[in-house]
A and B are shown apart, each in its own frame.
Chain A
Amino acid sequence: MEHRIIGCGNAARGDDAAGLLVVRQLRAWGADALEHSGEGLSLMESWRGHDAVIVIDAVVTGLAPGAVTVWDGREAPVIRDGGRSTHAFGVAEAVELARVLGRLPARLLIYGIEGRGFDLGSAPSPEVVAAAEHLAQRLFRD
Chain B
Amino acid sequence: MNGRTRTIRVETLARVEGEGALTIKLTGDRVTDVKLRIFEPPRFFEAFLKGRHYSEAADIVARICGICPIAYQMSALHAMERALGIRIDPAVRLLRRLFYCGEWIESHALHVYMLHAPDFLGYQDAIQMARDHRAVVEQGLRLKKIGNRVVRLLGGREIHPVSAAVGGFYKTPAKSALRELEEDLQWAIEASLATVKLVAGFEFPDFEQDYEFVALSHPEEYPFNEGRLVSNRGLNIDAAEYEDHFVEQHVKHSNALHSVVRGRGSYLVGPLARFNLNFDRLPALAREAAQAAGLAPPVKNPFRSIVVRAVELVFACVEALRVVREYEPPPKPYTEAAPRSGVGQAITEAPRGILYHRYALDENGLIVTARIVPPTSQNQKRIEEDLREFAAQVAAWPLEEATWKCEQAIRNYDPCISCATHFLRVNVERE
Looking across the interface, which residue of chain B has its beta carbon closest to that of A100?
A: B130
Contact with B63, one of A12, A44, A45, A88 (Cβ below 8 angstroms):
A12
Q: Is B66 close to A, CB under 8 A?
A: yes
Question: Contacts A12-B63, A41-B114 hold; do A93 and B126 have CB atoms under 8 A apart?
Answer: yes
Contact with A90, one of B47, B137, B144, B423 (Cβ below 8 angstroms):
B423
Q: Is the CB of B10 within 8 A of A86?
A: yes
Looking across the interface, which residue of chain B has its beta carbon closest to that of A117?
A: B16
Q: Is the CB of A45 within 8 A of B145?
A: yes
Q: Is the CB of B148 within 8 A of A45?
A: yes
A49 to chain B, nearest CB (A): 14
Q: Is A8 close to B, CB under 8 A?
A: yes
List chain A residues, Cβ under 8 A from B66. 10, 37-39
Report the interface size for chain B: residues with CB under 8 A from the other chain. 49
Report A1-36 CB contacts with B as 1/0, cut-off 8 Å.
Answer: 000000011111100100000000000000000011
A97 to chain B, nearest CB (A): 5
Cα A105 to Cα B158 in complex, Å, equals 21
- Most chain B CB neighbours (cut-off 10 Å) among A35, A85, A115: A85
Question: Contacts A45-B145, A96-B127 hold; do A39 and B422 have CB atoms under 8 A apart?
Answer: yes
A128 to chain B, nearest CB (A): 13
Contact with A38, one of B125, B148, B422 (Cβ below 8 angstroms):
B422
User: Of B188-196, B243-251, B411-419, which stretch is located at the interface?
Assistant: B411-419
Contact with B115, one of A12, A60, A89 (Cβ below 8 angstroms):
A89
Question: Contacts A86-B10, A101-B137, A115-B14 hold; do A120 and B420 have CB atoms under 8 A apart?
Answer: yes
Cα A97 to Cα B126 in complex, Å, equals 7
Cα A36 to Cα B418 in complex, Å, equals 13
Q: Is the CB of B48 within 8 A of A60?
A: no
Q: Is the CB of B42 within 8 A of A97?
A: no
List chain A residues, Cβ under 8 A from B10. 86
Q: Is B252 close to A, CB under 8 A?
A: no
Q: Is the CB of A84 within 8 A of B420?
A: no
Q: Is A118 close to B, CB under 8 A?
A: yes
Contact with A83, one of B64, B110, B425 (Cβ below 8 angstroms):
B425
Report B158-190 CB contacts with A as 1/0, cut-off 8 Å.
Answer: 111000000000000000000000000000000
**Residue contacts A-B, CB under 8 angstroms, 28 given:** A12-B63, A16-B421, A35-B159, A36-B159, A41-B110, A41-B114, A41-B145, A42-B158, A44-B141, A45-B145, A60-B14, A60-B423, A83-B13, A84-B124, A85-B425, A85-B426, A86-B407, A87-B115, A89-B115, A90-B422, A93-B125, A93-B127, A97-B127, A100-B127, A100-B134, A118-B17, A120-B40, A121-B47
Residues of A within 8 A of B (CB): 8-13, 16, 35-42, 44-45, 58, 60, 83-91, 93, 96-97, 100-101, 115-121
Residues of B within 8 A of A (CB): 10, 13-17, 40, 42, 44-45, 47-48, 63-64, 66-67, 110, 114-115, 124-127, 130-131, 134, 137-138, 141, 144-145, 148, 158-160, 407, 410-411, 415, 417-418, 420-427
